[in-house]
């Protein structure tokens, strides 16, 4: 195998959205590829490019007459050593009628030893209308066998009293694994258990198939998830959490050795409290690019 390691630097992994909105599928996919390429450098001593820039744009539409959401995410990663990546991100989210929130992030990924990767992401918003004030996340990925990678992440979202849910926090743990069928095809599964405001518990399950040897060097990811999304508009109760089916499709196509385009679509079918019928549906297409130098 070339590189059976897949660190997801962002909060989302697999196919479930979180407090940063719909962008996380695409951003997590791209970061997964960056860290996989980093793993090759760690294991094989290959030359590496120090900088990676990832701009993404997403628009989210609904079926019930709600105004569309928009999101612009830009991430800049720097690799001073083959086993270390540091970076920063800015996430601009517009959700009428609530307003616009801006999240600023610091990111790091480190290989202390050859088969172990640890990562963290810290985000904050100075004056959020609907986002958490702070998001703390971290985790590790450990290759325990030639084709098996174990995953574990922890995330905490802190809300002030101005947020829709009131003051408090949401915490979740996310164990999982990646299984590589060969050098170009692998499956990732995640289970998450969360605690919302010391009151409600929630769970979700997410899986994705990844195909990395498509025509022209393209990379395809197909994902499906079911469970509770701890951000979005719940549609009932101040702290209630509603379930959803979430499907996603993302594709990355290289244009040059250093530049690639990415496009994707996420579909969400959200259920009412106690799964009593449809609350709404939403579609979130994403376009973006990856530039390394």
Concatenated DSSP letters of 145-208: ETTEEEEEEEEEEEE-TTSTT-SEEEEEEEEEEEEESSSSEEEEEEEEEEEETTTEEEEEEEEE
Percent of the chain with pLDDT over 90: 54
- pLDDT tens for residues 76-85? 999 998 889 9
Residue pLDDT, tens place only, 264-274: 999 999 888 77
127-25-190-280 Cα dihedral, nearest 10 degrees: 80
Q: Summarize pLDDT for 120-135 with one digit per residue, the tens.
A: 999 999 988 888 899 9
- 109-125: b (≥16 Cβ within 10 Å) or e: bbbeeebebebbbebbb
**CA nearest neighbour of 227 among 195, 264, 270, 265:** 270
Burial of 71-86, coded b for 16+ CB within 10 Å and e otherwise, reads: bbbbbebebeebbebe
Paired strand residues for 227: 204, 244
Q: What is the predicted pLDDT for the residue at 42?
A: 64
The structural domains of the chain, ordered by start, are 24-292 (2.40.160.40)
Predicted model pTM:
0.85
What Cα–Cα distance (Å) separates residue 156 from each residue in 13, 59, 71, 177?
Answer: 15, 26, 22, 21
- The vertex-281 CA angle with 186 and 263, nearest 5°, equals 45
pLDDT band at 55 (very low <50, low <70, confident <90, very high): very high
**Mean pLDDT over each residue of the chain, to the nearest integer:** 81
Contact 270, 40 (CB under 8 A): no
Q: Which residue has the higher pLDDT, 80 or 3?
A: 80
Lowest-confidence pick of 2-6, 56-60, 240-244: 2-6
Q: Where are the alpha helices (DSSP H) in the chain?
A: 24-44
The total of other beta-carbon atoms located within 10 Å of residue 181's CB is: 12
Residue 92 has pLDDT above 50, yes or no: yes
Q: In what helix (H) or strand (E) does residue 139 lie, and over which residues does it extend? A: strand 134-145
Lowest-confidence region among 33-37, 109-113, 245-249 = 33-37
The Cα 30–Cα 289 span in angstroms is: 9
pLDDT band at 237 (very low <50, low <70, confident <90, very high): very low
For position 273, what pLDDT does the model report? 75
Strand partners, 209: 187, 222
Q: Which residue has the higher pLDDT, 167 or 78?
A: 78
């Amino acid at each position: 195998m070339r590189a059976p390691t897949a660190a997801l630097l962002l909060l989302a992994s697999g196919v479930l959205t979180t407090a940063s909105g719909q962008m996380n599928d695409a951003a997590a996919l791209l970061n997964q590829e960056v860290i996989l390429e980093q793993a090759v450098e760690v294991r094989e001593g290959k030359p590496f490019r120090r900088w990676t820039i990832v701009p993404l744009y997403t628009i989210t539409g609904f079926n019930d007459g709600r105004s569309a959401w928009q999101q612009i995410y830009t991430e800049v990663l720097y690799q001073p050593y083959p086993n270390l990546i540091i970076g920063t991100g800015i996430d601009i989210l517009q959700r009428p009628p609530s307003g616009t929130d801006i999240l600023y992030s610091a990111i790091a990924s480190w290989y202390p030893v050859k088969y172990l990767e640890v990562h963290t992401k810290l985000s904050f918003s100075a004056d959020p209308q609907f986002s958490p004030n702070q998001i703390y996340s971290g985790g590790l990925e450990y290759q325990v066998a030639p084709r098996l990678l174990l995953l574990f992440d922890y995330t905490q979202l802190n809300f002030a009293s101005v947020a829709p849910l009131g003051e408090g926090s949401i915490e979740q743990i996310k164990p999982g694994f990646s299984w590589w069928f060969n050098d170009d095809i692998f499956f990732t599964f995640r289970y998450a258990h969360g605690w919302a405001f010391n009151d409600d518990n929630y769970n979700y399950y997410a899986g994705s198939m990844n195909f990395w040897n498509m025509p022209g060097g393209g990379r395809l990811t197909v994902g499906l998830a079911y469970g509770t999304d701890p951000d979005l508009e719940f549609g009932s109760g101040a702290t209630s959490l509603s379930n959803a089916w979430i499907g996603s499709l993302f594709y990355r196509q290289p244009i040059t050795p250093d530049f690639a385009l990415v496009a994707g679509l996420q579909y969400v079918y959200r259920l009412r409290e106690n799964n009593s019928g449809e609350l709404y549906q939403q579609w979130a297409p994403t376009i973006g690019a990856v530039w390394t130098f």
